[in-house]
Every structure is written in structure tokens, then in C-alpha cells.
Structure 1
């Protein structure tokens, strides 16, 4: 019996490809390719495994897909070391990092480019082409005129280095491996192979001569083709039933024919011969029992889950036993996948109802694949087989599912933890010193760095010291945590450091719009909450009000904290703002050095050039705090007595009833009398007071009528800022 099977597989191999397959009999092809319900095409592969096996096949990719790739060239791991510390204050620490360079084959047909890249499941390259770790990436699209990669050519020799023409591949150069256990990670790539709508013809293009396979693969974003052609066709047959015509000079593959108007068959012809079906009616009706043979589950690569495997089930009452699963190595959205498996399930279910129909006279347009109607039976039927006999033309008809387009409910991919795609933005950097807080050594000046970025994808930056000679000295790294930093948008007005300033406000712009400041209570303020460095002054703020776009208004200000009252009147717009929350990075003092003009530089993944910051409040940790509470008394004999109260480094809080340790080798003060250009007198006193007789006082007043008396505390390393005691009188 001559059977025309309504699949691409049987007709292809029985037609033009029959010679390639050894001219196998048509019935054997039918049984091998579509007769067994267990054959569903290639299984979905694990996208997280990058292979490097010699001789392994490199698939062909169409549309948008995600592929693991095959490593085709690699160097040994390269070790890098960096030593920090080693001064008298800390031991030296040597850290090691590793990089590697390698090439990964992507597709055995040309592609247009790649998108995201995943390494061990984490995003390595974002949508905008940014690498999340250090290194460089070059992509070769597999064109037949592509040149050799310079890195591979340098390692293998320009005369023997292949260009891998016709093979799309990617080259990683000096990829940082610290985030991947210092090994080459398992990679997968988002491949963009075609931008046009996909069809079966694109898979057959260049593989078969004289073929017309314009079968749209609606709903499919991309697919993989690996291995024999019959597997490529078999994977789509359950979802996209195809018809083939090999009768002409070309092989033509089309979707199932759906004429505009079905053809009406005539009344059935009765045959009285022995063994004939429908002896009295001319037809025979049957319906296959059971639903386990129907495609009920579709496994695919879900586009909403970064191309990870997804599953959709056909709607309806579940059948007993294990449902038939169709695996398609194609990228599909959840809704389209649900529509495809629902359509395939319905079509196969309705096709279980069959008719054997005998025609005494057949319409000339009726042939296998034709849609017909039959007298006395509802719905549409498709001719799947025919046989010409003396008693008439015997047709095998299968019931077609009614069209319910648009009636199916919506479906979703479900929730999944996909890798966030955060761009590493430019680095914002502030370097500064702080007054000594009484902890640790009083002889050490520590430089701190607070770094961040406007982007939440910022992954840190390397830090360097620039002493002004052009050389950069490695200091370490900022870490991945973004600090709460910004710039002052308004000028902070002068105010008294002796009371809470409830009148003045300060507007600051934080480095990121997602960064935030919070208010506090007066009790917490007294315990040191909400300290911030603004320029060279340390303030505390009681209230923080968001103004949008990263701008914050601070009010309830406590000024001149930590002995920085000297900077109250030195503010300007654009000066740095740093929240002193203890998260700043302390740098090695021996590497930072003490040279004037030293700057701190940072270089991160989002920086095209190094970002520099001067060291604000340089030397403040070693400078004594200026004296306070000036006292002036003129005695009856005309002598002048000057007095003051000392303060000590490390004393952020004023303790009542006890004397704070001086933290200097000796207690000594320098008192001067002069103006901005001249000094008429200078004295030193080991006590917080000084007495001048009337004659000395008169001579000083005569020499500089506008002169002033100031006092500084002399410390081990520096003089304090001056305190105004009195003017000439």
C-alpha cells in the first residue's frame, strides 16, 4: 500500500535524500522516523557546562539563543602578586590574583554578534557590553574573510595560527579569575545569529540543494541545530506539522495545508467483497483510546529566565500515567510555549478520531493533505492516506481540531533568580584624614578613602598613591561596598560650635540616587550619631530630608566637631561630603607617605581614566587641638594676664571632673602678638597662662595698635590652630 506520510522526515528521506540514506524503503523510513512515539528530537543540554573535548561538534545556532561553547585555545594561568604594608606599624601582606586568556567556539555558522555572557551562572558581560570583571573580550562572527586574533597569533605564531573562518568564536584576554575560584569558569553566551523571522528554510540553507522550506517557526526566538538533519526536523514536527512534496524538481516543505474552503466528499461507496470495511455503509469510524500518546509537556529554553530550561503543560484534565514530553532546543517565551503545546495536544487529540471512507468518484483536487468535509459527520477532516482499488478510492481521514485562537489562557515563566545586569559606573572618590579618636597609636596619621558610584553595579576600584612624580603606588582596593558620599550643593554658613544650629541648612547631592541619609534624636546626636565631613569641618546633623534625585537637605547642625571649628568659615559649594559611618577604607600610612601634594587615585571597571582626590584635612590627626575659653585680666598695676583652657588630641567628648591626658611629650604653648603681616612679640609657656608687665604691654600697643594676642599649643609633630585671646588695648 502506497502511504504518503504527512511529515517532513519520511518524504525527505524517501525523495531527494533517499540516495544519501541508502535508498531505504519508504515503509522503513516511516517506521524509523515517525512510527515510534518515543522519538522527540535531541534533549535539552545543560547550558552551564563549557566543553573542551577534542572532536566535539560545534552546533549551528539560529535567531537568539544561549550556548555553552567549546574552548578551542587557552594559555596557562598567569599569577599576579601585590605587596602592601611592611612599615613599622603593620606587617607586609602579599596578595595573589590570577588571569587567563582563552578562546571559545560559539557556532559553526556565522552570527551577527553576542549579547550577555554568564560565568558559573553569574553575569560576566552585560547587555551593554560591559565586563563585570577585569579583562578584554573580542568576538569573531565567523565570516569567511575574518582575520586571525592577534593574541593567538602572538602565542602560536602568525604563520601557523588559524583564523577559524566559518566558525564564530570569542577570545578572552587576561580575564580576572578571582571571582571564579582562580579557574576558567563555565561560560555560556547569548548569541544573535539572525534578526529576521525564523523559518525552517534557514536551517536547511546550504545543507540541501534544490529545497524550498518556507515554514515559519512562529513563536520561536531561536533554536540550535546539532547533529543529523533528521534530528533537526524531528524536533519541530510535533509543534509544526509539515507536508512535503518531492514530486517535482525541488523538495518542497510547507505547513499543513489549510485551504480557504474545504472540499466536500460525496456519499461513500459500498463494497461487498470479503474483508472490505464498511460493507453496508462504505465507511468505518474509529477513535483511539487513551491520552498518554498525546504530547502533554513541552520543555524548552525560556527567554524570560535567561534561556534556562522551562516547562509548559497542555491544558485540560491530566491523563493517567506519565505524559508524553516533547523537548525542543529552542528559545521560546512562556506564553508561546504554552500555545504551542496546547495546539499540539489538541491537534493530536482530535486526530485520534479517524474515518475510512470509500469514494466511487473523487474530486480532482483531493489528495493526501487536503481538508475535506464528509456527509453526516461534523467538522473538518484531513486526507492522510489513499489507496486506489477496483472498488473505489479508499481514504483515511483524521479529524482536525477546531480553531480556538485567542481563547487559551495566559501563561507565565514563574519566578527565577536571574543574574542582575548592573552596569559598573564611574568611581566617585574622597580621600581624607580625621582627628585622632583616642584609639590606637597617637603618633600615626591615617588616610581614609570613601568611594562609591552613581551605579549600583559598581564593583569597586583599585587604589593608588600619586606623590606628584608620575608614579602610581598600589595601595589596595576600595571593596565592593558603595560609601555614602557626595558633594555640597550650597555653602554652609558660619555658626557657633557651642550650640545646636537650628537655623542653617546644608543641601548635599549624594553620589547615587539610591543612597540615603536618615535623621536621628538629640540623645543619639550627643552620642556621636550622624557625623559627616563637609570640606574640612566635621558636623553632625539632626534631620535629613530627601529632595529627590539624590539631593538631601540637612538641618539641626552641630558644628566644628572633633576640633574642626577652625574650618567653620572656610566652606564653598562643591566641596566633598562624607558620612562618617565607619565604613571608610584605611590606607597604609607608609605607602601614602607625607609628601606635600600627594593625591589618591582610583581606577575601576567603569573608569576610562584614573579618578583623583586630594587628601582633605591633611595632618589633622597629629595636630593638637587649639585651646579654648580665652581669659583676659588687666591688673591695677597695668600688667596683662592671659589665660586659656587646653584640649588634647583624642578627646572628642568633654569629660567633667577629670583632666584628659595631654597625648603630647610636654605641655607647651606659643603665644604671639602681631597682625597679619608682622609679629611684634613671641613667648612660650609651660602653663595655660601668661602675664605681661605694663611696660611690655605699652611697648607692644605702641608698635602695633591693631595687634592681637593669640595662643597655639605646641605638640610633638605640629602646632595647633591659633586661639584669639585679646586685641591691643
Structure 2
């Protein structure tokens, strides 16, 4: 308030700011306060002389020193990371003045706003900083007249949660508002009060950082148990030093650096740094935290953090009697999980008597035995040396995830609207599906919450078939997509897709090859979908994406790939949301009736839609053959050969051949001349002899040989064709 930037020094340029070049604020006439925008005391207690064209006037203005109290008509700081760097900055997408404070990462930070207001009030509560005027007998700054920006007349939490009524509600989380925040307590004050109630006076909470929105402590709780909940939630340590109980927020940063030369060993030949890693069976794989929702109706909520690829590891769960935002709950779960996994590494080492300054809670950066790690001391035992036990820490554990957003909204009333259904008769995608059952994708804007799908053999007597709780990602193409060879990267022009709702994301090529970003494109008919994958999805407009780097004709759908998917084709993201409907295998190719609409509405409501259709069971359809060729023999015969593909179990490289996938091996072979079918036959092997006599009998013209694998349950699959030399 009366020091550092704006008082002691300033940055003369943006480059000086970046390089931290600080220029002292000095005045030739000794009136430094003229240039100090923070020097309220200097401005109040001195005469004012104008500087006209840089020349100090000899005659002062009419201002009389100490003659009037100062009112702060607007003080405030946004609840955003590093908000005190520039307290006047704010975020508002609709404003041209929307900027982040200098060096801010843009995350919500209620604590910095609290500290800003506390700093102002504490500073001007001091008589030295805010002296009493001998002219009017009052304080220089009348804090009774200080006004904070902003206390909103709109009631909390209706504002900011009711964004349908107040569109600026989204700005609240990182804005200047103190509604819903002014009743919060600093973590340091809560810990100090718990200690005071327990009769513990010698405490130091100056290194505790955090905001407590609400904390329920039972009368039977001891100070230790009450503090334990806060230590778990906010990540701090309690340390006894020189008769004072110190509380410190963890940040994982080193208090000192030491090398292997500074370590001592207990016995000759023993390692100076003894490392231990807990067995995998003891590793925490999931952290689950229950808490009270601070921004809603104080209902119970839960947040969960799961370590990838570790679903079988143990689960740690804790119920916290704390009021938290959903973002804070997630951060606690993630920090707790990260701490538990990193802390499986423990170290035991010794320091000479000179290591006495280091104790429990200190973090040491140790460079020894070819590795450099950070270790937080948990235990110290003094013998002839300082024997220490520590756990490994990482500073990143205590840095908030930049992808998190604390903004919350109430569930606004949504008038039921008709829901669009897209039925997809798809090939097998994972091999675990019912091969005869189609998928359905539902979407609408707005989404009604849950959609019920009913089915019946006739247009009456409907029974529930599926309830879909989540909207699928459905859209239509705004550009065409030409056919390409399957099984290789399609680096052609972008496919532009406009979604009804939802979003797309980019993934790596390796993730695509692992099965991510699977989608279907079609003309709206249930059985003509091409399945493809994509790596890149670039947002180019509202709900509009350009999709590039594609793998086409996946899951055998290359057999139905047209020469061109035109503009207006349907697009469905196959991310697990589109689900298979219930359909008996005997009902395949049998017309069924379907009705769907908002689950909370009856089936005869006007929002329900109706479809009468049958499904072929594309999951049973054989793949088209590949590598179709014709080799001539010396006597003029043609040997037509191909390689079969399988729709099931064909992805393993350890097999000598792919499984047949059908009851018997059978192929339809046909010959057309100038578009007229001249010959049809069936063979049970992957070759067919087209003799010279057959060729002569079929006549001359444009000769095309087509081959399709046949399934007993489905019939022939897509045919692969080969044009022979015209004769």
C-alpha cells in the first residue's frame, strides 16, 4: 500500500517490465509524492504546486494540507490469479476492456481478492499510515466511507447462477463481486481459532494460504481432528519449531539445495541416500472426495480423480464437512491423488550437525547418486548426526490445473422440444456388439435431459426400449468428401462439419490408431454409413469444425464408400454415446415402429416423433475382398484371385490367417459386359478360372469381374470389381 511499484519505483516501458528493470521514483524538488500514485499520505499532507510544462510553480494551489478526509469511492480486485498486479482489470467477453492482470494464468482465486481487501483495511487501520488530521479531527482516509466494487443488488446465489435471467453470471467466478465471498474466512484465521479454542497460543499461521467458505466442526471433535480435515483439504503441514506450532501450506519448492557431498552415512560402505518405493499393491489409483456444494443449495457433491491405466489400484475416499466449489473439490481430489502417488518414494539420509537448521516440513533438493529430486522431511532423529526420513514431492502437484473452470450454473428450465434421432446400422466396431442390432444417436438443442425410445411391432402397444441420458454429437457436412483408398492417411481437403451440439477434439496419430475419434458419415439411410477416423478437428466457427488427417473406410465400410459424400451428409461421432437398441435377432429385416421424445413426457405428447423401419444387421455383413487381380495363362485363360477379409477377430498379428468369421467360405462371382450380366457363379476358394471359352461366349466389350463374400446369415457383402482389358 505504501511501497514497491507505484511508490518506490516504476517500469518505464513494457521491455523494462519483462526484464524487471525498476526505475526509482524521484523528484528534483524532493516532492517524490507528486509522482507516486500510491502515496496518498504525501498527497494529503503537503501543499500542491502545479507542474506546467514541467516547471514547478512557486505559488501553491488552494489545497490546504490535511483539510479533508479521503473517501475510497471504488476499491476492488478481481478474484483471479495475480489480480493484485492490476486490480482494475476484469474479464468480460462482451467488453473491449476485458484483460487479464499482468502475468495471470486466468484461474479463479478468491484468496487474492480477500488478501487485497484485508491489506487495504489493515494498512489504513494503522495510525502511522492513516494519521488523524489536526484540522478536522478525523482519520486521513475515512474507511467508513470506503466502497468496494462490487456488491451486487442481485441476490446471491440467484446471481450468478441464473444465467438465463442475467447473462453476465459467467463473469462472476473471476470477477470483482464480493457477493457470496464476503462471509468466507481465511484458512489462517480458521486454524488460529481452532488452536485458540484448544488453548494453544504459540502458533504461527503466516504461511497458510487459502479460503474457507464453510466448515462444520462437531462439539466432540478435538483440535487435532478438526485440523486434520483442513490439512487434507488444503494441503498444509503442522510443525513444532522452538516452542511455536507453525502451519505451512505446501508448495513443493525447495528450501535448500544439497549435494551428495553434504550427506553422511551411518556405516562405512553404506549408501548416503537410501531410497524405497512402496509396492504397487499399496498405490492409490483413485481419490474420491465428498463435500458440500458452496455455490448451490448446499447439497452433497463428490469429486473424483483417477490415475490413467490404473483402474485396479486402491481407492481412497474422504468425506469433508467443508463447503467447496466444484472446482475446488476436483483440485483437492487431484492433488491428493498426485501426492499419494509421488509419496510412494521415500528416502532416508543423514546430515551433519550443520544440518540442524533443516527440520520436518522443509523441502530439500538433493543431488546425489546420479539423480536430483525434491524431498519433504517428515521425521528427524538426532544422534551423532541428523538422521532424516523424507517423501518425494513435486511442485506441479500444488499448481492448479489450468483447464479447470470454477463457473457453476443452475439447471435452467428447458421446455421440451422434439428430439432428432439418427439410426445407424453399423458394422462391428469393437467385436463386443450385438451384430444384428443398430445404434441410435439422439440430439436436440436444447437437450431435454433424458430421451425415451419406445418400440413395437405395430403403431401401438409400445414398450420402453432405451433411455438415453446424454446427447450425441451429431451434425451435417458443409463440404464434400471424395473417396480415397482405405487403410492409409487421407490428407485431402478438410471436411467441414456443423454440429447441432457438442464438440470435437484433436488427437495424435497414435491415438487414432488406438481407436479414438471414430465417426460415421452417411446419407441418412440406416445401412449406408461409412465409418472413418480423424486426427485433427479445428474449430472454425460456432459449432463448426474442419476435420483433417482421416482414416477412411474403417470396419469394412470401404465397400460402401461412394465416389463422393456430398455437402449435407450426416455426421455422427461414435464416442460411446450412440448406443445399440434392443432388437431380437429374429426381428432383423422385420419392420418395427419406434417413437421417441423427452422422457418426462408421455408417449402421446406432441414432442414425440415416429419412425417405421427395418434393419438389415450390418454387423453380420461380410467385408469386401481385397487385392482382386486377374492373371492370364498361356492358353488364354484368366485366373481371377483375391484375398478375403474378416469382420471378426482379424486384428491380431500372431495369426497365420484371419478367422473366417462365417459358417462356410463362399463367394459370388459375376461377369458383366458393357453393364449386362453375362455370367454368375459361386466358388468356395479365393480364386476362379475364367477360361478362354467363357470369355468367347460372353462376347466383347467392357468386361468387369465382381467378387463378393457371402454370409449364410446376411447374404453377399459389398462386391469388389475389376475391369478387364476390353476385347
- TM bin (shorter chain): 0.3 to 0.5
TM-score (ref. length: structure 2): 0.40
Larger radius of gyration: 1
TM-score (ref. length: structure 1): 0.40
Between 1 and 2, higher relative CO (CA 8 Å, sep ≥ 6) is seen in 1
* Higher helix fraction (1 or 2): 2
